[in-house]
Amino acid sequence: MRDVLVMGMGTSGLVAALRCQEAGLKVTLLAKGVGSTHLAPGTIDVLGYDPELVENPSEALPRFADRNPEHPYARIGADVVARSLEWFSERFDGYRYTGSVDENFLLPTAIGSIKPSTLVPETLAAGDLRKGGRLLFVGLRQLKDFYPALTAQNVANAKTPSGADISARAVQIEPPISGEADVTGLALARKFDDPGFLDAVATQISALVDGDEAVGLPAVLGLRRPREVWEGLQEALGRPVFEIPGLPPSVPGVRLHEILVAQFESAGGRVVVGAEAVGADTEGDRVTAVRVAAAARIKPFVARHFVLATGGFGSGAIEMTSSWKVRENVFDLPVMGVPADGQRFSPRYFDRQPMGRAGIRIDDSLHPLDGSGRRLYANLTVVGACIAGSEAWREKSGEGISLSSGYKAATTVIEEAM
């Protein structure tokens, strides 16, 4: 019999599944489709704003958890966050991640704000602005998802805590792609995998660089062999090169997904995609099976442990109907923190949005709770964006919560299984 059924293959599900599989459990990873990895920048942002800029997450986290007792980090714990980051970094060689829980990078976004991120692909790191620097932003004419002039001006106006000098300018190049004016980021990334294409681009850029500028490009530097592409470009230009993540779909996110899935599969895990969990069978405080719709049939998936990593409101795992009723779609778990009529959202977009925190309440081992704080199922853990209590997009904590909760759920499952 299967030991663990993980539902959802975003970061949280992938991490939980991989860790359990590596611990020797038999894991099935089941998903309707790919997760928000394909949309998100691929950086692990732990905590960026509280609401002031956070420079050192490990210092900020305990305080943050104290003040926000309903936040996922208050359940997960700062020490687990730190351990999960280390575990994650170790999964990547070749294409590596860099950073630690003791500091946040300050990386330029595609519009030129600077954003705190904790663990980042090595290919992004040279954009770090904490110590200032001279940057050249390079746009690719055929890509409509990056506007280097605006990015450069905003970056030049950015204020960092150190107040270090930043200078930035922008150029556009037109890589050799015949007959297409509108090329997506993913298509460009595949072209960069081709050494001839990379050479041509390097030649164009090297005619434009100046002094000791570092060179920033949209995050499309290769899909199959990103490390070689990035190193090749640095070598050809004789200077640091960095990628800037942009609008979905995200090339660094796809890389992350593919690397984790490959490791899970080579560790013996089983992946079932195109399958939707639609309900569950339970007995008392135990889940016995999850009902799964695939190929027009509904089939029970039996396991000893279940991990709900279905992604919350953003992926449709939790829904609100037109009569404002909220429902979690697999276990019908109670959804907490749904504000009353008229209070779900603030009329001002940049305000706190109360509805943003709605989700599933969990205990310290990530089991779901009901309204009175009673544990609902002993062999079910809830991870990632399903968990209540964070407005992750404003805190810059999305992947941090997904990674650390996925990691911790695996701890719970492994302990209970052994």
Partner 1 sequence: MKSVQTEVLVIGGGATGAGVAWDVATRGFDTVLVERKDLGEGTTGRFHGLLHSGGRYAVKDKLAAEECIHENLVLRRVAANTIENTGGYFVTTPWDDPAFGDRFMEGCRDCGIPVEEIAPPDAFRAEPRINRDISRVFTVPDAAIDAWKLVWDCAKSTKEHNGKILTYHRVLDILRTGDVVRGASVRNELSGEEFDVHADVTINATGAWAGKVADMAGCPGVQVLAGKGIMIAMNHRLVNVVVNRCTMPADGDILVPIRTVSVIGTTDIRIKDPDEPDVTQAEVEQMLDDGEKLVPGFRRARALRVWAGVRPLFKDVRAPETSDTRDVSRSHALLDHEARDGVTGFLTITGGKLTTFRMMAEETVDKMCEQLGTRRECRTSIDPLPASRTGKFYWLGERLSKREATMHEDQLICECELIQRRNLERVMKQRSSTILDDIRRAVRLGMGPCQGGFCMYRATGILHDVERIDSWTANRSLRDFLQERWKGVQPILYGDQLRQARLDDWIFHGVLDVEHLPTDRLEDRAEREHP
Note the residues at the interface with partner 1 (CB under 8 A).
36, 39-41, 49, 51, 109-115, 142, 144-147, 149-150, 153-154, 157-159, 179-182, 245-248, 312-316, 319-324, 341-342, 344-345, 347-352, 355-356, 392-394, 396, 398
Alpha-carbon gap, residue 289 to 98, rounded angstroms? 39
The interface with ligand FAD within residues 282-321 (CB under 6 A) comprises: 309-311, 314-315, 317
> Among 23, 41, 168, 367, which residue sits at the site for ligand FAD (rule: CB under 6 A)?
41
CB neighbour list of residue 249: distance below 8 Å, 6 or more residues apart? 38, 39, 184, 185, 186
Q: Which is nearer to ligand FAD, 89 or 172 (CB)?
A: 89
Alpha-carbon gap, residue 84 to 399, rounded angstroms? 11
> Among 125, 277, 287, 409, which residue sits at the site for ligand FAD (rule: CB under 6 A)?
277
Report in angstroms how near the CB of residue 278 gets to ligand FAD at its nearest: 7
> Among 4, 5, 20, 40, which residue sits at the site for ligand FAD (rule: CB under 6 A)?
40
Q: The tokens 């701890």 sit on which residue?
A: 411
> Using an 8 Å Cβ cutoff, are 394 and 352 in contact?
yes
In whole angstroms, how large is the CA radius of gyration of the chain?
22
> Among 21, 28, 36, 379, which residue sits at the site for ligand FAD (rule: CB under 6 A)?
36
Rounded to the nearest 10 degrees, how much is the dihedral formed by the CA atoms of 69, 70, 73, 75?
Answer: 90
Q: Which is nearer to partner 1, 99 or 359 (CB)?
A: 359
- List the one residue out of 21, 113, 102, 16 whose CA is nearest residue 58: 102
Q: Which is nearer to partner 1, 187 or 378 (CB)?
A: 187
> Among 119, 217, 385, 413, which residue sits at the site for ligand FAD (rule: CB under 6 A)?
385
- Binding residues for ligand FAD, how many (CB under 6 A)? 38
Tell me which of partner 1, ligand FAD, none is bound by residue 256, counting a contact when its beta carbon lies within the kind-specific cut-off of 5 to 8 angstroms: none
Strands 318-320 and 326-328: antiparallel
- Phi, psi torsion values for 168, nearest 5 degrees: -150, 140
Q: Which tokens go with 103? A: 């500091």
Q: Which is nearer to partner 1, 133 or 232 (CB)?
A: 133
Cross-sheet strand order for the sheet of 380-382? 270-273, 27-31, 4-7, 305-308, 380-382
Report in angstroms how near the CB of residue 123 gets to ligand FAD at its nearest: 15
Interface residues with ligand FAD (CB under 6 A) are: 7-13, 30-37, 39-41, 43, 45, 248, 276-277, 309-311, 314-315, 317, 329-330, 384-385, 392, 398-400, 402
